[in-house]
Amino acid sequence: MIKPHGSEQLMPLYVADDSERAALAVEAQNLTAITISSAAAANAVMLAAGYFTPLTGYMNLMDSLSVAQKLHTVDGLFWPVPIVNLVENASDIEVGQRIALKDPNVEGNPVLAVMQIDAIESVSDAQMDSMVEQIFGTLDGNHPGVAAFRSQGNIMLSGAIQVLNYSYFQADFPDTYRTAVEIRAEMESLGWEKAVAFQTRNPMHRAHEELCRMALEDLGADGCLVHMLLGKLKPGDIPADVRDASIRKMVELYFAPNSVMVTGYGFDMLYAGPREAVLHAVFRQNCGCTHLIVGRDHAGVGDYYGAFDAQTIFDEKVPADALEIEIYNADHTAYSKKLDKVVMMKDAPDHSKEDFVLLSGTKVREMLGNGIAPPPEFSRPEVAKILMDYYQSL
């Protein structure tokens, strides 16, 4: 199992000791408190779980600009996306103060973390534009990630945090949410030395299933970590509980026991394409995975990124020694009528478009909403049933 990024061991910021955590909760009651953005809360949860090892809290402006422009902090730590706490107003906060960070995503806004304020900095419009363009590749306000990033405010609070809980993720997804610490421990108990990660924010159809199987076989891997995003998505995306049920059913019926681990992580989708793919690689290394599947339009949205930009960024912008995890590059994968199996399109040069079973997302949603199962070459019937029930309940 490979070591974590930038550290010999994971550095989770969750306060695991019960007495220390109780004392911190008491302290938090008497601190100045602010309700943070969903994005900042998600960052806190990822820091708590060890996914963002070796970071100790939220980045300052210099580090954020350096990460956005150069993919490393001022001190040289490789990192692809600024991990920040942006707010609209910090008039009641002073440098050197400890404050309580309240959770925007849980009823009653309980305290999520306690933060040591090292700096309070105003982000200029030019600096904000620079970060947005480097992270998302566009300034278009219609891009969901751009809109979410800009909506947080332009005051940046930086400093170390101590985290009290995992927000709603542990309570809402008790069978699926796992920390990087827990995933490493489970892989160790299963004896996995070589593990490939599959990132998803969608249900898994036959092409995704076979892609995981191809990667397992090609790499000689011991297992596959199906690691689904459980946080905020754009309107129209399938909710995490439906996605979770459909993926679990597929794994239960169509994979060998103990060859796939179905888990989830607590983060809001950035839709940042190439940059988010690199972030995915960083925190999958922290999980202990040796490989990450990166496919067509990985973490993309709309037409903002080229089909394989999320692969080429690893060759063009990620230094060779920056990460230990390796990338398994995947082409568009679909069912071949000629070969009667799922293949990568690049491996079938004698095929025309008509030789594949191809359905648009719009067409699939329309079929499911009308109670029509997609063909079994596209989606397992048991998975299609779960998705049909969801779409027909809307």
Active-site annotation, residues: 201-202
Residue found by looking up tokens 């048991």 in the block: 382
C-alpha distances out from residue 107 to 110, 168, 234, 251, Å: 8, 10, 21, 33
* CA atoms of 360 and 164, how far apart (whole Å): 43
SS (H, E, C) the chain: CCCCCCCCCCCCCECCCHHHHHHHHHHHCCCEEEECCHHHHHHHHHHHCCCCCCCCEECCHHHHHHHHHHCECCCCCECCCCCCEEECCCCCCCCCCEEEEECCCCCCCCEEEEEECCEEEECCHHHHHHHHHHHHCCCCCCCHHHHHHHCCCCEEEEEEEEECCCCCHHHHCCCCECCHHHHHHHHHHHCCCCEEEEEECCCCCHHHHHHHHHHHHHHCCCEEEEEEECCCCCCCCCCHHHHHHHHHHHHHHHCCCCCEEEEEECCCCCCCCHHHHHHHHHHHHHHCCCEEEECCCCCCCCCCCCCCHHHHHHHHCCCCCCCCCEEEECCCEEEECCCCEEEEHHHCCCCCHHHEECCCHHHHHHHHHCCCCCCCCCCCHHHHHHHHHHHHHC
* CA atoms of 243 and 93, how far apart (whole Å): 40
* CA atoms of 324 and 314, how far apart (whole Å): 12
Asked if 374 contacts 383 with a C-beta cutoff of 8 angstroms, the reply is: no
> What angle, rounded to 10 degrees, do the helices at 381-393 and 361-369 form?
70
